[in-house]
Amino acid sequence: MPPARASETTASLRRIAADESVIIKSLPPAMSALLPVLLAVGFTGLAAQVVLMRELLALGSGTELALGWMLAAWLLWNAAGSGLAGRLGAGVKRQAHIVAVLLAGAVLLLPATIFATRAARAGLQTVPGELLGTHRILAGVLLILGPFCVINGWLFAAASRLCRSRLEIADAAATATVYLWEAAGSAAGGLITGFVLVRFFDAFQISFLLGAVNLTVAICLIANLRKLRIFLIAAVLLLFGAYLIPQAARALDRYSLNLIWRPFTIVATANSPYGNLVLLEREGLRTLYENGFPLASAHDPEAAEETVHYALLNHPAPHNLLLIGGGFNGSLVEALKHPTLERVDYVELDPAVIQITRNYLSGTLPRDPRVRIHLQDGRAFLRTAAGRFDVIVVSLPDPYTAQINRFYTVEFFRLVRQRLATGGVFSFRLSASENYISPALAAFLGAMRRSLEEVFTEVTLLPGASVHFFASDANGRLARNAEELIARIKERHLETTYVREYFIPFRMSQDRRQRLEESLASWDRVPLNRDFAPAAYYSGSVLWSSRFGPGSSLWLEHLGRVPWAVLMVLAGAVGLALALSARSERSLAAVSVMLMGLVLICLQMLLLVGFQAIHGSVYHQVAMLTSMFMAGLAVGGWLGLRSSPLRRRARLKQAQTAIAAAPLLLCLALEAAARRPGWPIFGPLALACGMLGGYQFAVASRIFHRDDQQGGGGLGSLYALDLAGAAVGSAFVSGWLIPVYGFWGTAAAVSLVALFSALALLVRVPQAPAR
């Protein structure tokens, strides 16, 4: 948000103190000196958030529920830093020193927080790679993020006081100006971090680079140095960092990883845009982990055989195979044993996985002319690939996250059916239980089967520790008995260890199939798993939570049973209660900003999940979408600063109405984008959503700080309310509302909260007389 440009004359500066609508056409020297500080606050804050969220993903195995809590904890601690800690030092004359100390504190705390995250994993897990319960995740995240996030939030309030004193402007203009330039810095930070830093540097290297930026800005701020000296200091810090960063970062990275994975042997590590990869070895078995979650084990013949042989044996004469993910466990070698196969297309999203496989897992990626490796998202490949496939196999982790869930939705199954040849076979497998199917597991498997049956004519299940799903568009294509599969094994002269005549009759026995059918019979009316209503990753979250005891998942199950009509009543009641709590224009602005934070986090999540569902992968583009959103905040704040303060209530009414309608309008846009995947609308949508929030914050800031004295103690309060609203939205939207009620149900509930509050606030609260 370009700042309210202050006039270079003292008279114009005084006018800004009384009337924030004055916009200057050139930056004054004081503002030029503050720009690096404000940009650095936004840049390093967002870059640190990206790095820490990647590290914290391993604690919750990447589930949306855990991710929502992590983001909520980040926002809550930042709110505490801005609203509470931000009041400290309000009476200090040299605000530049406070900002410099906080910037230096962030330098020390970021690498310490990264190390604490890894140490917490080692301390909370009884064995490496163990899944953590919900209470341990929440406690760990709250303790780890607290110190750094409080400093990060405090910086907003301190920078606002510095801006007010240096520019001699009113509190409202100061907070809006800092909000504007911090958002601009965040936009740059998102692009540079997503496209450069996470690709070429590890977490500690990034933290040291951000530290060099912060130290340079802090030194220049308190020393008030000229450009030549600034350049010299920056050059010295960079030269020092060029030696220090690689040495210290490597040592910390190596030590912390060994701490996490002891007693495993770390064979290789890689840092990619998609996650942190670690290849571990113990007793001859090598397992590849991504963000702490096991992707697959190499030289695991049972998994390799079962991944492809059951699917290929269900086809009488497969000529081509599409394998999406999981090829590094040896399944490609197994697939090539089928003599009729003429071509195998293997799709892997992350190039780092292929690189590690080729370097350290010899023999798992055969150099065979029939094999073609595509470094692309599987869903995007299906949409653009030429030709059709006799067999398509998805070999990915269970759909506990939105990123993986899009390979198990009705829309994806329809795309698979379009790409299957006549009589083709589609297969995937999900983790289950050999002897007991719990209600949570039955609901999970039932949602998958019902979604498959929505698309394919014939669907069969193979019970076991992993349940295999087979589907075809031709009746009678899928094998119904073990003898048919055994005959094809002999006909093709397959040499196998686990998928053979000794084990197949047991896996396909009638009593085992009947027990599975009986377990799933009562779950034949579970919701379909769709792109915009991802029911499976809600049931997956329940299943994941149930592993840590019945009580861990009980509250999630209760939330999932809340009818949508009851949700809407609750949403309206919450909105009305918030409105009734406001008794003045100042509290009107406070409640409006808090609701804006809730709505904006909802818009961001709908955008990201929607982008994943439509375009296959969000990792490369998440930096672009985040940066566009932050740029929208900047532009909206600039427009808000330009607007006339005499019509502040009318402007707030317009902004609140637009924010209340935004979730429903976004869902309409996403539905249109799903029908036209080629439309480049996500960037403009992110920009528009950000503009709404930035504009509303600038307008509300004028009302909130209208009668403030120049003490500056509460300059971070409005920003804290914004973050608090976003924290509440993060905790509920990603882990509950979207999975249970889908995009439209979530949008309707959030819009109703905002609409009820807007109507009640703007009708009930009396307007203060113009000053």
Task: Report the alpha-carbon distance of residue 511 to residue 593 in Å, rounded.
Answer: 60
Output the DSSP codes for 361-383.
Answer: STTSS---TTEEEEES-HHHHHH
Residue 32 has pLDDT above 60, yes or no: yes
| More confident: 665 or 282 | 665
Question: Exposed, middle or buried by CB within 10 Å (0-12, 13-18, 19+), for 175?
Answer: buried
Backbone angles phi, psi at 483, to 5 degrees: -60, -35
- Contact (CB, 8 A) for 219 and 235: no
Residue type, 621: Q
Question: Closest Cα partner for 180 from 711, 689, 693?
Answer: 693
Q: Residue 312 has what pLDDT? A: 95
Whole-structure pTM value: 0.84
Quote the CA–CA distance of 666 and 672 in Å, as a whole number.
10
Residue 52 identity: L
The per-residue pLDDT for 8 is 35
Greater confidence, 303 or 401?
A: 303
Q: Is the pLDDT of residue 18 over 50?
A: no
pLDDT at 231 over 50: yes
Averaged pLDDT, 102-113: 89
Write down how long the chain is.
771
Which of 20-34, 304-318, 396-410 is least confident? 20-34
Placement of tokens 């900002």 in the chain: 99
Of 110, 103, 112, residue with least CA distance to 219: 103
What average pLDDT score do residues 101-107 get?
A: 88
DSSP 393: E
Sheet bearing 265-272, strands edge to edge: 265-272, 275-282, 285-290, 293-298
Find the helix packing angle between 439-453 and 535-546, rounded to 10°: 160
How is residue 95 written in tokens? 């605000």
Residue closest to 408 by CA, chosen among 364, 482, 469: 469
**Helix, strand, or coil here: 386?**
coil
Distances (CA, A) of 94 to 91, 97, 174, 217, 317: 9, 6, 16, 16, 80
For domain 10-252+562-764, say whether CATH 2.60.40.1080 is its number: no
- Range with the poorest average pLDDT among 286-290, 592-596, 617-621: 617-621
Residues whose CB falls within 8 Å of the CB of residue 134, separated by 6 or more in sequence, listed in order: 65, 66, 545, 548, 552
Provide mean pLDDT across the span 123-140. 69
Question: Among 261-275, 319-333, 460-474, 487-501, which stretch is predicted with the lowest mean pLDDT?
Answer: 261-275
Helix (H/G/I), strand (E/B), else coil: 273: coil
Report which secondary-structure segment, H or E, holds 460: strand 458-462
* pLDDT score of 713: 52
Tokens of 624: 């672009």
Please name the helix (run of DSSP H) or strand (run of DSSP E) that holds residue 340, with its range, or none. none
Cα distance between residue 339 and residue 135, in whole Å: 52
SS3 530: strand
pLDDT for 753-764, tens place per residue? 888 777 766 665
Nearest to 618 by CA among 606, 602, 630: 606
CATH number of 293-532: 3.40.50.150
Q: What confidence score (pLDDT) does residue 241 get?
A: 58
60 has a pLDDT exceeding 80: no
Element (H, E) at 668: helix 648-675
- Predicted pLDDT of residue 227: 57
Strand ranges across the sheet with 320-324: 371-375, 343-348, 320-324, 389-394, 420-431, 466-472, 458-462
With contact defined as beta carbons under 8 Å apart, do 45 and 182 qualify? yes
Q: What is the mean pLDDT of residues 582-598?
A: 85
Confidence of residue 313 (pLDDT cuts 50, 70, 90): very high
pLDDT at 448: 92
pLDDT at residue 586 is higher than 70 = yes
Q: Please tell me the least confidently modeled range out of 5-14, 395-404, 407-416, 489-498.
A: 5-14
Q: What is the pLDDT of residue 25?
A: 40
Residue 549 in this model has a pLDDT that exceeds 90: no
pLDDT at position 764, please?
55
Residue 212 has what pLDDT?
81
Is the pLDDT at 707 greater than 80? The verdict is no
Distances (CA, A) of 512 to 219, 430, 502, 503: 71, 17, 16, 13
For 522-548, what is each residue's pLDDT tens digit? 777 788 899 888 888 778 778 777 776
Whether the per-residue pLDDT at 491 is higher than 90: the answer is: yes
Q: Pairing between strand 466-472 and 420-431?
A: antiparallel
Q: Please check the confidence at residue 344 and state whether its pLDDT lies above 90.
A: yes
pLDDT at 133: 66
- Whole-number CA gyration radius for the chain: 28
**Lowest-confidence range among 65-74, 395-404, 419-428, 617-626?**
617-626
* HEC sequence for 403-453: HHHCCCCHHHHHHHHHHEEEEEEEEEEEECCCCCCCHHHHHHHHHHHHHHH
Q: Do domains 10-252+562-764 and 293-532 have the same CATH topology?
A: no
- For the chain, the first-to-last Cα distance in angstroms comes to 26
Q: Rounded to whole angstroms, how far apart are CA atoms 681 and 678?
A: 9
Mean pLDDT across 495-505 = 89
Tell me, what DSSP letter sits at residue 196? Answer: I
Two tokens at 207? 């933290």
635, 183 in Cβ contact below 8 A? no
How far apart are alpha carbons 447 and 326 in whole angstroms?
Answer: 23
Q: Is 337 exposed, middle or buried (0-12, 13-18, 19+ CB in 10 A)?
A: middle
Number of H helices, E strands in the chain: 28, 11
SS3 9: coil
Distance CA 82, CA 158 (A): 9
Q: Answer yes or no: is pLDDT of 49 > 60.
A: yes
Q: Where are the domains of the chain?
A: 10-252+562-764, 293-532
